[in-house]
Structure 1
Amino acid sequence: MNDDTRSGGTLRLRGPADLEPLDAALAQQSPADQLRRLWTRQLFTYAPVENPDQWQAVEPVPDLAAAVPSTYNAGLGASHTSYVVHLRPGVLWDTEPARAVTAHDVVRGLKRLCAPVARPAATSHLTSTIRGMAGFDAAYAAAVPDPASDAQAFADFQNTHDIPGVFALDDETLVIELVRPALDLVDLLALPCTAAAPVEYDAFVPGSGELSAHTRSNGPYRVAAHEPGARLRLEPNPVWNPESDPVRARNLDAVEVTVDHSGAAGITESILNGDADLPWGIELAGSHPLPAPEPGHRLGYSLDPYLAFNLDAAGDGPLSDVRVRRALDRAIDRRALAEIAAASGAGTSVRVADAIVPPGNDAAREPGAGPAPGGDPAAARALLAEAGADSGLELTVVHPAGETETAMAHSYAADLEKAGVSVTLRGLGPSSLRRVLAGSGPGRSQGWDLAALSWSPSWFHENARAFLQPLCSRGVPGGPNPGGYGTPEVDELVDRALRSVEDPERRDAAWSEVEELVLDDVPFLPLLFQTPWAPRLRGTRVRDAVAMPSLGFSYDLATLRLAAEEESLENPG
């Protein structure tokens, strides 16, 4: 095997982010996607290009697929609802013996997205796009109602039921049929959660620790050691062939990730003194310049943070009254939150959020229509009084336990208390927060009234859907809409927008209607928009680091190199 791409050394990442789950089928937006790129592959992915003003940075390229289907290569039918994808030869699983990745593995990966566990938000994108996937999803939930069921229950359903619109013609050929034309199908199939899955995964409950311990790779590295919540080590996959991988290289002997809760100052110090090379799961500004974006470039904003109401738990209580939710919206001083974010050391661009879809994206509305950015406790008190909730309202807010997230939580809690609301804050680590939110829903355990979350676009064009569908339609527990918001009116408007994909004017109008209706219902409170367009901290050994838009401008670990000690001393950075 040709292995001349390696240059050696162990890349060391350190930070507070969780290391679970390793299973790509549960991939929500998380730092783990930066690592999953090293051992998972999708039909399509993104090339290591960091400037989103270049189309190559934001348009998917073939990965497992030999080509992006189009009418020119006979991969896309005249109706634009039937795709034929041919797989690239020479891609192998690190099994004993090594085995080729097939179209059946891609089908299995898509089926696993519907397993009734804490699934990724992309599930709703796919079930509303691929023919028959919504029915498969519903039948799966009915057949395996208990997420704690043994692995056999999951495997039996997947192996005896099919998604009508997804099937393998043979080992190298996959057909995907859609409900309606979708300009973003290739973007969806480039998401980390759509990775191919080997038959060995049938032996494990999706997302379980047992599966993490038996992770299989078809990328340049494989999992060599995994201590949940503490450490992950990746080493070269001996059956990876660079000739069958158009976007990744392998320049390292190993990648080591260490969970470290010493905070931004501690992580920064460890990198500056040479004990680590990159931060893990924490944004820290550095001095290495990125390519300057074009004037007016605004791609890449995240809704970060927003506060989701637990409407499933509200019953007929105060939070079921939209006037109460509007009052809380009016109370929060978003400018103070922006100041906290700007001072965090992450180097992000920050602006107050008065909408759901950030500026610069499709169907984004004009700024200035939202609540007063400085907060208005008097107006909030008046609304609470009108709703009869101006005395004794007590709320529990769950939020990430990071330094910046905690500072923001104390800020908006103080704002709410000025309006007469008693607030209990619960700062949780990633695993604990995920479990709390995944336990939400009718008949499930509760324990929170608002949750501080963030959401980023999963692709960078034609992407109003990437915000509005997962945030505004009833999804899965633990997703971006954990409070269970959803109405028939919103669902109808979402469907209208999806049906209008080939009429941009009608499509954008429908998405704008979705946003206006949801903002009027106030199922969550948009607080800030942030974009990570900023230099990222890295150690002096790191070379050829590409900050990819598809990874939230985190560095592509599949292409960077480490300098020898002498070189790093002579030429730091």
Structure 2
Amino acid sequence: MVKSTVIGAVAAVLATLCPPGQSVHYGGTLTLAGSADIDHLDTASGYYGPTFVLERAYSRQLVTAPASRDVSQASAIVADIAAEVPTQANGGVSKDGKTYTFHIKPGVDWDAPSGRRQVTAQDEVLGIKRLCNPAVGAGALQYFTDTIVGMKAFCDGFAKVTPDIPSIARYIQGNTIAGVRAVNDRTVVFQLVQAIPDFLDIMALTFASPAPREYLKYLPDSADFRQHVISDGPYRITGYTANKEITLGRNPAWNPRTDQVRKAYVDGIHVEEGLNQQQTFDAITGGAADSQWDVPPPSAQLGALAAAHDPRLEVMDVGLLEPYVAINIISPNNNGATSNVLVRQALEYAVNKADEINVIGGPNIAQTTCQILAPSSGAYQPFCLYPSTNDQGDPDKAKQLLAQAGYPNGLTLKMIHGDAGTQPAVAKSLQTALARAGITLQLTQVPRSDFYPKYMSNADYARQGAWDIAAVNWRPDWLGDNARTYLSPLLDGSGYTANSPTFGNDYGFYNSSVTNGLLQQAFSSPDRTTANNLFHQAEVQALTDAAVIPMGHQFAVYLHTTALHNANWYPNGVIDPTNVWLDPKH
């Protein structure tokens, strides 16, 4: 009875939601196939492309970015659970740009255990407070601590709290964030440290999702939490088995009339995990799955599909920095070799970027790069500090720098990598390239599902020297003027100490007062031009310090069957599962 009501409501508004000139179909189950699990189901900490796919289905934010193939449209923030996007014209933004007021729509409900319940301003305040919980905090916490009045002080205090359920609940209930206030049940106000031009982009992230009060009963993102996720989106999690499968069905508390972004054509979503790259490809091309979950096609097939412009392969320019090499600056190995800028600069010259591009699928999929920022970023200015012929590296220059650093006979480094996708091949390519410069690379393979959440996000492994370098990737959190989304998470170490439990996405703890200062100036700049020039200076400084090794800007790729339609992939570079539909007989 409930399901019929929900489908009827969807049908009632379908005419206003369907893409013009297209015949759509609702119903069926969207099947995604892939290798690894999500990093987190808790929106406070989820920070992984496949996780964003599911979060789009079961969570909502005050504002969001629409799914569109048009970059300008996908960059235009729209209202989600807020009644409207706050502006100075409608009174939602103060004249000085430092106060944002959001009014929550009536009828946006939680699928709570006790029954459907209105999402409130207090829920939004709770969602923001949970971001810096000491158990599993947000991956890009600095977006919020840099912008919201009192957020850093609140988080500094939270960091001292014992990471257990009662201690976390007491701190949240007994402390406030000066700049986040629920005026009434449906009005929440944010006070900023200064006018922030991209604050709405930050608030569109799933980190900024409201949280129901029931979440205080669970340790954030614990195994118990993952069995009790509460939805305010069109789908709810109906089953979760770690590293095996995730299922979602329609959420009976979702009212499509309150949601102009998620169309919810399919009845359910099924994620099948545990497949390798070839098995995933075979499942999709054989019709057993509708699209990929987390791993792209194998490199040989990927290159062929891209060259043939196969309509089943979505190729998307979202400014993806992949691969790049994170360098563990605090590793104790080799008497702290990687803390020496000359060693890190030697690594910049030693890598063979051209070979890495071939390994991941060839020039139809990626282009070599000297930079962190992609050409699509508003702050991009081309430069190259470590040039080489045909981007194949300069092992002689690398040897020279190693000798100057005190390693005339080379050295041995450790690299950790995942066991799926292109990670093993990328690691082998790096091992071969570095050997030319006298650097022996010891490879350690770990499960893909553990690579980021267990190893890269846990600062203990960096401090212990479990790894010296790692090939990772980065997808910007929004489009256009988005230098903050690259440089703040990857390079700003000011929010951490050498003893922090995590360094966020600054995996190797690069922490330069010069770079941090330039970034802070950029964050506080009143206009985009000044900010983008400062972002460029920060990028140059970080690469002079050889903080990371950019190797390629890759197109995001997504393989699906011909039975899947409307695979719009902005804003997060993967398809929006709430906007696809399947052939009627599929």
Do they fold alike, i.e. is TM over 0.5? yes
**Aligned counterpart for 2:516 among listed residues 471, 484, 491:** 491
Partner deviation per Cα, 1:39-95 (whole Å, 9 max, x = no partner):
10111112221221xx22122211111111001110000000001110111011111
Q: AA paired with 2:323?
A: P
**Aligned counterpart for 2:80 among listed residues 40, 63, 84:** 63
Residue 429 (structure 1) aligns with: 447
Give the 3-state SS of the residue equivalent to 2:416 in structure 1.
Answer: strand
Structure 2 Cα separation of the partners of residues 397 and 557 of structure 1: 35
Q: AA paired with 1:483?
A: G
Residue 370 (structure 2) aligns with: 354
- The range that moved more, 515-524 or 225-234, is 515-524
Deviation at 1:300? Answer: 1.8
Partner deviation per Cα, 1:3-48 (whole Å, 9 max, x = no partner):
3336321211111131342111111132110111111011111222
Q: Is the Cα–Cα contact under 8 Å of residues 426 and 471 in structure 2 kept in the other structure? A: no
Matched, 1:549 2:570: yes
Structure 1 Cα separation of the partners of residues 352 and 156 of structure 2: 41
Residue 155 (structure 1) aligns with: 169
Deviation at 1:546? Answer: 2.7
Give the 3-state SS of the residue equivalent to 1:247 in structure 2.
Answer: coil
Q: Is the Cα–Cα contact under 8 Å of residues 417 and 471 in structure 2 kept in the other structure? A: yes
Structure 2 Cα separation of the partners of residues 132 and 21 of structure 1: 26
Structure 1 Cα separation of the partners of residues 492 and 117 of structure 2: 40
Give the 3-state SS of the residue equivalent to 1:304 in structure 2.
Answer: strand
Structure 1 Cα separation of the partners of residues 314 and 281 of structure 2: 23
Structure 1 Cα separation of the partners of residues 535 and 28 of structure 2: 48
Deviation at 1:401? Answer: 2.3
Identity across matched positions, percent: 31
Matched, 1:267 2:280: yes
Structure 1 Cα separation of the partners of residues 136 and 325 of structure 2: 20
Give the 3-state SS of the residue equivalent to 1:32 in structure 2.
Answer: helix
* 1:197-236 correspondence runs (5 A): 197-236=211-250
Q: AA paired with 2:561?
A: G
Give the 3-state SS of the residue equivalent to 1:113 in structure 2.
Answer: helix
Give the 3-state SS of the residue equivalent to 1:70 in structure 2.
Answer: coil
Residue 21 (structure 2) aligns with: none
**Aligned counterpart for 2:542 among listed residues 504, 511, 518:** 518
**Aligned counterpart for 2:195 among listed residues 175, 178, 181:** 181
Point out where structure 2 has 5 or more consecutive residues left out of the alignment.
12-25, 497-501
Structure 2 Cα separation of the partners of residues 270 and 313 of structure 1: 41
Q: Is the Cα–Cα contact under 8 Å of residues 181 and 189 in structure 2 kept in the other structure? A: yes
Deviation at 1:312? Answer: 2.4
Give the 3-state SS of the residue equivalent to 2:360 in structure 1.
Answer: helix
- Say if 1:392 and 1:292 are closer, same or farther in 2 by CA, change over 3 A: closer
**Aligned counterpart for 1:87 among listed residues 73, 82, 104:** 104
* 1:517-536 correspondence runs (5 A): 517-532=541-556, 536=558
Partner deviation per Cα, 1:456-514 (whole Å, 9 max, x = no partner):
111112211111111111156263211111122222111111121x2333222211221
Structure 2 Cα separation of the partners of residues 362 and 530 of structure 1: 18
Structure 2 Cα separation of the partners of residues 353 and 117 of structure 1: 36
**Aligned counterpart for 2:319 among listed residues 297, 301, 315:** 301
* 1:125-136 correspondence runs (5 A): 125-136=143-154
Structure 2 Cα separation of the partners of residues 548 and 58 of structure 1: 12
Matched, 1:401 2:419: yes
Structure 2 Cα separation of the partners of residues 448 and 92 of structure 1: 45
**Aligned counterpart for 2:261 among listed residues 234, 247, 267:** 247
Deviation at 1:249? Answer: 2.0
Matched, 1:50 2:69: yes
**Aligned counterpart for 2:311 among listed residues 274, 288, 293:** 288
Structure 1 Cα separation of the partners of residues 481 and 206 of structure 2: 19
> Number of matched residues?
546
- The range that moved more, 299-308 or 70-79, is 299-308
Q: Is the Cα–Cα contact under 8 Å of residues 458 and 466 in structure 1 kept in the other structure? A: yes
The normalised TM-score by structure 2 is: 0.89
Give the 3-state SS of the residue equivalent to 2:210 in structure 1.
Answer: coil
Give the 3-state SS of the residue equivalent to 1:17 in structure 2.
Answer: coil
Residue 336 (structure 1) aligns with: 355
Structure 2 Cα separation of the partners of residues 74 and 289 of structure 1: 45
Structure 1 Cα separation of the partners of residues 489 and 326 of structure 2: 13
Partner deviation per Cα, 1:79-131 (whole Å, 9 max, x = no partner):
00001110111011111221110011111111111112443333111110111
Structure 2 Cα separation of the partners of residues 440 and 400 of structure 1: 17
- The range that moved more, 253-262 or 238-247, is 253-262
Give the 3-state SS of the residue equivalent to 2:272 in structure 1.
Answer: strand
Q: AA paired with 1:278?
A: S
Partner deviation per Cα, 1:405-428 (whole Å, 9 max, x = no partner):
211111111111111111111232
Matched, 1:277 2:266: no
**Aligned counterpart for 2:478 among listed residues 456, 459, 464:** 459
Q: AA paired with 2:373?
A: V
Q: Is the Cα–Cα contact under 8 Å of residues 9 and 252 in structure 1 kept in the other structure? A: yes
Give the 3-state SS of the residue equivalent to 2:87 in structure 1.
Answer: coil
- Say if 1:443 and 1:538 are closer, same or farther in 2 by CA, change over 3 A: closer
Partner deviation per Cα, 1:394-448 (whole Å, 9 max, x = no partner):
1111123224221111111111111111111123234321211233159954411
Structure 2 Cα separation of the partners of residues 301 and 409 of structure 1: 22
Q: Is the Cα–Cα contact under 8 Å of residues 66 and 570 in structure 2 kept in the other structure? A: no
- Say if 1:414 and 1:130 are closer, same or farther in 2 by CA, change over 3 A: same
Q: CA RMSD in A?
A: 2.1
Partner deviation per Cα, 1:166-223 (whole Å, 9 max, x = no partner):
1100110000010011111110011112111101110111121111110000011111
Give the 3-state SS of the residue equivalent to 2:57 in structure 1.
Answer: coil
Q: Is the Cα–Cα contact under 8 Å of residues 232 and 257 in structure 1 kept in the other structure? A: yes
- The range that moved more, 372-381 or 436-445, is 436-445
Give the 3-state SS of the residue equivalent to 1:154 in structure 2.
Answer: helix
Structure 2 Cα separation of the partners of residues 37 and 10 of structure 1: 16
Residue 18 (structure 2) aligns with: none
Q: Is the Cα–Cα contact under 8 Å of residues 312 and 440 in structure 1 kept in the other structure? A: no
Deviation at 1:392? Answer: 5.6
